[in-house]
Each structure stands twice: as structure tokens, then as C-alpha cells.
Amino acid sequence: AQSVSQHNHHVILSEAASLELGCNYSYGGTVNLFWYVQYPGQHLQLLLKYFSGDPLVKGIKGFEAEFIKSKFSFNLRKPSVQWSDTAEYFCAVNPQTGANNLFFGTGTRLTVIP
Amino acid sequence: EPEVTQTPSHQVTQMGQEVILRCVPISNHLYFYWYRQILGQKVEFLVSFYNNEISEKSEIFDDQFSVERPDGSNFTLKIRSTKLEDSAMYFCASSATGRVEQFFGPGTRLTVL
């Protein structure tokens, strides 16, 4: 069965620190990859997505993610976090089987200390 | 910017009661989804819906669950006889034809007592 792993459950950083959140998936075929963010009290919002092409994708708010096919990974990065980045971050995978359902990781809670 | 909306934001019910969770997808979207997140666990896919029928469903989506698009705007999830383990946050999502990315609503927190 497909699974998505986010190994960091809670990350605490000071403002201006660099961020990297890990995401690994288990699926042998072609996948679409997503990072969603959930700010406190708000709904899931799409940060960025990868379908094909350049494995380094840029999203909103200065986030980027790199797809490494050989490692089945899609790690999220930001060079310098802000207090407003405090949120829960979810990696999600859609196997390209024709169905559109997403498989989510357990999420990583990011706390940025001012 | 159009958004997916959900009502109610919080529903409290007694075990064995029926609940209906409501969603209004983005107006030009034709694919609809329900997900749930039990506290402390991952977001899990329940069901997808297109052209007035279920496209995919997970093992979680058993006979206690049903979905319906009763009119041109609403998309509902019904749980016929709630169990304690149905307590979770339920998210509705929608996507446009030919697009994989899904837009999520704010969720309904269901508490079964």
C-alpha cells in the first residue's frame, strides 16, 4: 500500500533559520507530489506541487521543494523562516493511476520563535 | 478568490445518531472529495465523487457512510449511525476537470459522545 512518511513531527526554529522538512513516499510508479500548509485555525492550503519536469519546484511564500526520484523524496525547504510560517505542513502524494485521491503524511508542526 | 466552505464547523452528536456534514465546493469544480483526520493522525482519504457517482472510496468508507450532491452546489457526507471512533475532523475538497490539485475546506470537527 502507498504510504507517505514525514519523519519530523515537531520542528522548532528561530526566525531567519533555514528549514528543511522531509517527505518520503513508497510507490513505485509515477506520482504527483504536493505540500500543503495549515495555519492555526485555517484550512489546508496548497504550497506547491510537482507533476513533471524540473525536480526543483517553487511555491508560494518563498518555499521550494526538490523531487529526488531515486530517494522517493520530496523535501520542503525555505532559506529563512518567519514567525508567520508557524503552521502544520503536510506532504501528499497522488499516484498517477487515474484516480485523484491524495495520500497524506502525518504532518510536521513547525514553530518559529521570534 | 473562491473557496470551499463547510458547515457546521463543529458538530457534537450522540453515538448511534445520524449526522450530515455539508460542503459547498468551488463553483466550477466537478470533482469532490471527503477526507478525515483523527486527532494526532494523518489526513485519510474517504471518497471521491464525480458526475453524480462515487469514483473511488477507501476501506474506511463502509456502509455507514454515504455521499450525495443534492443540488447544484452542495456536497454532503452522511454517517448513518455514528460511532465513537468517527470523532475526527472531516475535510471536503474539490478540483477542476483535468487538474489534480485539490482545494480544501476549513473542516468540520465531529465529536461523538
Parts of chain A with a pLDDT under 50 = none
Could A32 and B103 be called an inter-chain contact, meaning their C-beta atoms sit closer than 8 Å?
Answer: no
- What is the grid cell recorded at B70? 443534492
B42 lies within 8 A of chain A by CB: yes
d(CA B20, CA B33): 15
- For B40, nearest residue in chain A (alpha carbons): A106
**Residue A36 corresponds to which amino acid?**
Y
* pLDDT tens readout for residues B23-64: 999 998 999 999 999 988 889 999 999 989 999 999 999 999
What residues are paired with A89 via a beta bridge?
A37, A108
Find residues 42-71 of chain A whose CB sits inside 8 Å of chain B.
Answer: 42-46, 49, 51
Residue B80 in this model has a pLDDT that exceeds 90 = yes
Quick check: B43 and A104 CB within 8 A? yes
Collect all residues of chain B within an 8 Å Cβ-Cβ radius of residue A107. Answer: 42-43
Separation between Cα atoms, residue A113 and residue A76, nearest integer Å: 19
Q: How many CB atoms lie within 10 A of CB B15?
A: 13
Task: Give the pLDDT score at B70.
Answer: 87
CA pair distance B81, B16, nearest whole angstrom: 4
Mean pLDDT estimate for chain B? 93
